[in-house]
Amino acid sequence: MVPLVLILCTGNSCRSHMAEGILRAAAGDALRIASAGSKPAGYVHPLAIRALAEIGIDLSAHRSKHLSECLSESVETVITVCGNADQACPMFPGQVNRHHWGFDVF
């Protein structure tokens, strides 16, 4: 089974989708990549979609989703990209790795 990497942010509207797109493009078929949020915004920010389109990554079909949608998945690695998500992140069954790569918003 291909390992699942879950990228978490609070709103799942920008940073987590950008990280998901870039990691998916880099990993190819070696990993499954998903993103979610602890308090989803309900949309993917248009500027995130546009920024990644500039480097050839299409986020136009992405949607903002709650991390509870991933609780039944076998998540091997969780990467949080904001401090709030890092504090709210649960342990997933079978989770082996957890990393925090904070990207502050200015």
CATH of the domain at 48: 3.40.50.2300
- Residues classed as catalytic: 9, 82, 89
Average pLDDT over the chain, rounded to whole? 87
**Does residue 75 lie within any of the structural domains?**
yes
**Does residue 60 lie within any of the structural domains?**
yes
Helix, strand, coil shares, percent, the chain, to 5: 30, 20, 45
**Does residue 71 lie within any of the structural domains?**
yes
Which domain, by its residues, includes 86?
4-100
**Does residue 105 lie within any of the structural domains?**
no
The model's confidence at residue 97, banded by pLDDT at 50, 70 and 90, is confident
| Domain count within the chain | 1
pLDDT the model gives residue 54: 97
The model's confidence at residue 103, banded by pLDDT at 50, 70 and 90, is low
pLDDT the model gives residue 99: 77
Please state at what angle helix 46-53 crosses helix 15-27, rounded to 10 degrees: 30
Q: Which helix (H) or strand (E) covers residue 35, if one does? A: strand 32-37
Q: Round to whole Å and give the CA distance between 101 and 61.
A: 24
